[in-house]
Structure 1
Amino acid sequence: MRFTTVDYIIFALLLILSSAIGLFYALSGGKQRTTQEFLLANRSMGFLPVALSLLATFQSAVAILGVPSEIYRFGTEYWFLGCSYILGLLIPAYIFIPVFYRLRLTSTYEYLELRFSKIVRICGTVTFIFQMVIYMGVVLYAPALAFNAVTGFSLWGVVLTMGLVCTLYTTLGGLKAVIWTDVIQTLVMFAGQLAVIIVGTAKVGGIHEVWNVSLANDKISGINFNPDPFTRHSIWSLGIGGIFLMLSLYGVNQAQVQRYLSSRTEKEAILSCYVVFPCQQLVLALGCLTGLVMFAYYQKNEIQDPEIIAVPDQMVLYFVMDILQDFPGLPGLFVACLFSGALSTISSAFNSLATVTMEDLIKPYYPNLTESRATLLSKCLALTYGLLCLGMAYISSLMGSVLQAALSIFGIVGGPLLGIFCLGFFFPFTNSIGAVTGLLAGLIMAFWIGIGSFVDRMATGASSPVLNITSAPDMGNLTTTVMTTLLTSANATKSLTGLKRFHALSYMWYSAHNSTTVVIVGIIVSLLTGPMKGRDVDPRTVYLVLPRLLFFLPDTYKERLRFGVPHIAEDKPNLIIEDKSCNGFLNGNVKEAEKDDMEENYPGFSRPEGGHSYIVQETSL
């Protein structure tokens, strides 16, 4: 099973095209001369390319390998994760995106300073950087390892080629190049998966035969209503736990929020989130169908070289090379599909890491930095993170079984980050002490469960952990999250007692459990240290959910549920607001924002000619 010349050509064309897009945007338009162009594509992107880029960012190579492998071994129960996509995308569309977009942020963590303090912003940024640095090495090394094992192509040749190409077009073309290469790579991913499904189904004997074989071997799963949180998969863990995973990805993750912020308008940003929903369902369906076709095929055909499949995820590529060896070019198309996922994910990581480092760790301390120097420094940061990615890939190769622990740790970091944003959005009385304490408590809980889970399974002498790498959008955090499922025997799980029982918590609950820990600890500490007064809260940074949910209550009661937070325009339509400059937001009858900022961020406002007041028009907000 080796590549033909045609396969190499198709694979090379993907790399050349990606590099060409980066070069094009480096030499055209504004030539990436400003940080706004390099990091946010001048806020000029339409909803469709943004939506496809959102999809590609966390539809990484490990997901293309991992989801079919999951279905092959455990059946279609994982498909119920699609139930979480509804709220997991509606909540960002209605709550997170409007707030982030109207604040005109560049880094998501700027929000944490506006809502809490600078120290909270730095804590969030450092946590995100830690998460993404781990992710980059894993997402680059995992597909290269599978590719090497099955095709014999040089492992480090693949790693270096992918890493350098990705670094090249990200550094040259900025976010605009990243988004448009994501579009191309998404189309390649769909084409590669469809090619495998069509050919594989034909070789099995048709889709009906695939279904019958899967059904006869109990691979078509029913709904598991078991509420036990230690059950690996159930409708509750996939449907409810999955919502938290999706929120950590599509609600607050810098790599995704940066794409929303690159949209031309707020409406297009929200529309891009809607468009992702059917695409996500299609991606999940293709992954599940690939797993079923693979299972049915190997029920009818013996695996010729089982010794070359070191871990189950390599089986997907083995299957591809097996069924497509008589179709020159199609193996190359699928490998291009596989590495499109890796390229799109890594380039997003580079760009988002450069953004948060620049905006959160450099600019605040060097306010007089010129635009040209800031842009050059942003490009250098992207290049540096690209080289760091290669280093992390090398470290991943040395970690052995510890790699599984690293993947688990990465997967659960997204929960605490989600929790700290939820504190800010939904609980206006929480303060910065509560936010920092809550984040630390969430991270400690996450590491305790993740590392404890790994150590306990090693200590019990249970069956060796099986590496099952799956990634966002189907699971949490880079939250895109890369997760690892550490399998063990039922007896090993039952032997855990007391607090150690938490080590057996289903990985699908990690994000929900850890974000809830942040919220609970943050609320308690805030109340003990003196809750924040509503008048001191910037009303643009909170989403007062209780007055909206309890809309049927009298106005006096709804007013109490605001916790003293000042009103803004969308609270009181048709209100005439005086033209007085103050601290940057609207407060009842006083306009506390500059005219230009007001008209830019709140299109419902207009100023009568010759008048001295702004009229708040009726809005759909």
Structure 2
Amino acid sequence: MTNTEYLLGGRRLRALPVTLSLFASFMSAISLLGIPTEIYSYGTMYVYCQIGQVLSYFLAMVTLVPLLYPLRVTSVYEYFQLRFQSRTVQLLGAACGVMSTLSYMTVALLSPALALETAVGVPLWLSIVLVGATGTVYTTLGGMKSVVWTDVFQSFVIFAGIFTVIGKATVDAGGLETVWRINKDTGRIIFDDFSLDPRVRHTFWNMSVAITFYWLAIHFSQTSVQRLVSTRSMQDANKVYLFTGPLVVVFVSTLCVTGLVMVAYFQQSGCDPLAAGYVKNKNQIVPYFVIHALSFLPGLSGLYVATIFSGALSTLSSGINALAANTAQDFLPWFLQHRSDAVVTAITKSLVCFFGIASTGLAYLAKDFQGPVIQVGFTAVSATNGPLLGLFLLGGLFPQANYVGAVIGFLTALVFSFWQALGTLRFGHPIPMMPMGPTDQCSVGNVSTTALTPGYNYTTVGNINSSFDFTTQISFENVQGVDLNPSGFSNRAFSMYDVSYTWAPVTGSILTVVIGLITSFIFNQFFRKASRPEAKFLFPFCRPFWYSDRDVLQTEMK
């Protein structure tokens, strides 16, 4: 097996299996646990994220695919070397990409393990080791083909688990009409928040515009691009995005419905496990709900547990395969260039194994994590991927940009992104949760002293709008003494630390482009003017604006 066959499936994979693989890689355990919990905690404004997701797929078809597919890269960060003629830019991008992928895999591995530890009784270390070892073994042995075809199977498991839970729990809750009424009565049906205040956690604008930037950054990641360039043709690569968009819409919609059904189920049963103290962490509420909703048939609840583990496995296998490609192509080309295919493939397999072990270890070291998984997973990616997206936009939109501007713009945006994330953690304003359900039908001996009391408002202590929220203790204040403004910012001065986490990839991208262009202009004017890049290194829709018709035609004919 050659290294190209191992990492890219020989560039002969068909669109449909790659579509399901890409879907399974990013619609992970984070989504399975986080989206229903998001609806339970903050209401339905999250559904607007699908606008941003669909827009990002369209933008990727007109930017990423026609730019990177013809270059036949293995690592997405090879583009930086080709475009800016700079190994420094390539290494910076690759290092940041590796950090982003490792962070995301850590959250994706840890979140289901934490949830299942309390809800199901599976020891934390056992969940992490089982998923980590399984994903590492089959990815190491089979490479890209094993990752893709395993993801195909896992996609069917994921949908089977979701639809089973929705069907049974909806019946138990009294039907869809009852589910809707209960959620409306508890204030979770929210579709009209069009606030322009950037501090509001979820609005129509940040769930559409900001999420577009977030997902476009995901498309420019190694995990995504590695799948696209493994397809047989550019037409197949476009089909991957064309098919994945509707699939993601169905997936996110069903998980939002799961959250609504979960709220109604707890209301009808008279026992909210978080309010009663049966679970101490919001991330555990979905497995707890599933175990009880499907308890009528022994073993059926295991289907959803398998769904969660499938999501974690797909993310891990895709991630470690991408990290191995980055390491081989970006950091070790000088070491591998004169080696035989057999030796290079063996080294790449060793790298896959190494990153699998590293990801497993990082997930265990982060075992005290308690934050909302959707927000934490988003932040772990966007703090790094925002500046990375800006670097691709800088190179693909503006031929004037040079390597000096790229380095300074990228580093400035990266420092700003981390400063804002850490500052938000430390100084950000807490966002109230929605009221939890009743506890009157809970077992009297097991109800926590934090059970709900009529006439009280229920919020969480800690910074829910922050990047990493490590406190989920419940506090109760009399309704008359609580600010009921849904945004929570009515009397608070503006602070960058209060800005919604969703805007992080936008600010990171824009800073990279603006500072990169200004720096490039200064360098070109007062120092040495950089050579103009070939037209093929710019997005196709930009080429006619910057280049002559002959240059564009020559690029398209190559």
How far has the Cα of 1:485 moved from its partner? 10
The change in CA–CA distance for 1:453 and 1:77 in structure 2 (over 3 A counts) is same
The change in CA–CA distance for 1:400 and 1:143 in structure 2 (over 3 A counts) is closer
**Corresponding residue pairs, total:** 515
How far has the Cα of 1:291 moved from its partner? 0.4
The 1-side partners of 2:468 and 2:71 are apart by 32
The 1-side partners of 2:231 and 2:333 are apart by 23
Aligned position for 2:195: 226
Aligned position for 1:76: 44
The 1-side partners of 2:130 and 2:464 are apart by 25
Q: Which amino acid aligns with 1:54?
A: L
Q: Does 1:522 align with 2:522?
A: no
Q: Does 1:356 align with 2:326?
A: yes
Aligned position for 2:343: 373
How far has the Cα of 1:222 moved from its partner? 2.1
Q: Does 1:433 align with 2:404?
A: yes
Kept in 2, the 8 Å contact 1:245–1:512? The answer is: yes
In structure 1, which of residues 310, 313, 317 is the aligned counterpart of residue 280 of structure 2?
310
Aligned position for 2:163: 194
Q: Which amino acid aligns with 1:169?
A: Y
The 1-side partners of 2:105 and 2:534 are apart by 35
Kept in 2, the 8 Å contact 1:428–1:565? The answer is: no
The 1-side partners of 2:329 and 2:123 are apart by 38
Q: Does 1:445 align with 2:413?
A: no
Q: TM-score, normalised by structure 1?
A: 0.78
> What SS does structure 1 have at the residue aligned with 2:191?
coil
The change in CA–CA distance for 1:466 and 1:335 in structure 2 (over 3 A counts) is farther
Aligned position for 1:87: 55
The change in CA–CA distance for 1:197 and 1:40 in structure 2 (over 3 A counts) is same
Q: Does 1:290 align with 2:258?
A: yes
How far has the Cα of 1:457 moved from its partner? 3.9
Q: Which amino acid aligns with 1:84?
A: G
The 2-side partners of 1:459 and 1:328 are apart by 41
Aligned position for 2:183: 214
Q: How does 1:33-48 map to 2 (within 5 A)?
A: 33-48=1-16
Give deviations 1:523-546, integer Å, cap 9, x for gaps: 110001117979630221102645
What RMSD over aligned residues (CA atoms) do the two structures have, in Å? 2.9
Identity, % of aligned positions: 33
How far has the Cα of 1:217 moved from its partner? 2.5
In structure 2, which of residues 204, 216, 224 is the aligned counterpart of residue 247 of structure 1?
216
The 1-side partners of 2:178 and 2:493 are apart by 45
Aligned position for 1:106: 74
Q: Does 1:424 align with 2:395?
A: yes
Aligned position for 1:172: 141
Aligned position for 1:414: 385
The 2-side partners of 1:497 and 1:160 are apart by 46
The 2-side partners of 1:201 and 1:402 are apart by 25
The change in CA–CA distance for 1:93 and 1:304 in structure 2 (over 3 A counts) is closer
Aligned position for 1:277: 245
> What SS does structure 1 have at the residue aligned with 2:282?
coil
In structure 1, which of residues 503, 506, 511 is the aligned counterpart of residue 497 of structure 2?
503
The 1-side partners of 2:346 and 2:228 are apart by 24
Aligned position for 2:426: 455
The 2-side partners of 1:459 and 1:467 are apart by 5
The 2-side partners of 1:161 and 1:289 are apart by 30
How far has the Cα of 1:314 moved from its partner? 0.8
Kept in 1, the 8 Å contact 2:214–2:506? The answer is: yes
How far has the Cα of 1:72 moved from its partner? 1.3
Kept in 1, the 8 Å contact 2:430–2:462? The answer is: no
The change in CA–CA distance for 1:567 and 1:342 in structure 2 (over 3 A counts) is farther
Kept in 2, the 8 Å contact 1:147–1:317? The answer is: yes
Kept in 2, the 8 Å contact 1:534–1:565? The answer is: no
The change in CA–CA distance for 1:186 and 1:467 in structure 2 (over 3 A counts) is farther
Q: How does 1:13-52 map to 2 (within 5 A)?
A: 33-52=1-20
How far has the Cα of 1:326 moved from its partner? 1.1
Give deviations 1:346-369, integer Å, cap 9, x for gaps: 111100000000000001454212
The 2-side partners of 1:536 and 1:418 are apart by 21
Aligned position for 2:26: 58
Give deviations 1:50-74, integer Å, cap 9, x for gaps: 1111111111101100100111122
In structure 2, which of residues 535, 540, 550 is the aligned counterpart of residue 539 of structure 1?
535
The 1-side partners of 2:549 and 2:328 are apart by 32
Q: Select between 71-80 and 270-279 the one with higher mean Cα deviation.
A: 71-80
| Bigger relative CO (Cα 8 Å, ≥ 6 apart) | 2
The change in CA–CA distance for 1:454 and 1:565 in structure 2 (over 3 A counts) is farther
The change in CA–CA distance for 1:120 and 1:458 in structure 2 (over 3 A counts) is same
Q: Which amino acid aligns with 1:257?
A: V
Q: How does 1:128-167 map to 2 (within 5 A)?
A: 128-167=97-136
Q: Select between 308-317 and 256-265 the one with higher mean Cα deviation.
A: 308-317
Q: TM-score, normalised by structure 2?
A: 0.86
Q: Which amino acid aligns with 1:218?
A: G
Q: Which amino acid aligns with 1:328?
A: P
The change in CA–CA distance for 1:465 and 1:410 in structure 2 (over 3 A counts) is farther
The 1-side partners of 2:69 and 2:19 are apart by 16
Q: Which amino acid aligns with 1:379?
A: K
Kept in 2, the 8 Å contact 1:55–1:276? The answer is: yes
Aligned position for 2:233: 265
The change in CA–CA distance for 1:400 and 1:270 in structure 2 (over 3 A counts) is closer
Give deviations 1:346-403, integer Å, cap 9, x for gaps: 1111000000000000014542122111100000000000110121012101567799
The 2-side partners of 1:179 and 1:468 are apart by 35
The change in CA–CA distance for 1:545 and 1:503 in structure 2 (over 3 A counts) is farther
Q: How does 1:554-573 map to 2 (within 5 A)?
A: 561-562=545-546, 567-568=550-551, 571-572=552-553
The 2-side partners of 1:271 and 1:485 are apart by 41
Give deviations 1:477-519, integer Å, cap 9, x for gaps: xxxxx98799998798578657xx1111111111111111111
The 2-side partners of 1:280 and 1:48 are apart by 14
Unaligned runs of 5+ in 1: 1-32, 470-481, 549-560, 573-585, 588-601, 606-621
> What SS does structure 2 have at the residue aligned with 1:222?
coil
> What SS does structure 2 have at the residue aligned with 1:175?
helix
The change in CA–CA distance for 1:92 and 1:172 in structure 2 (over 3 A counts) is same
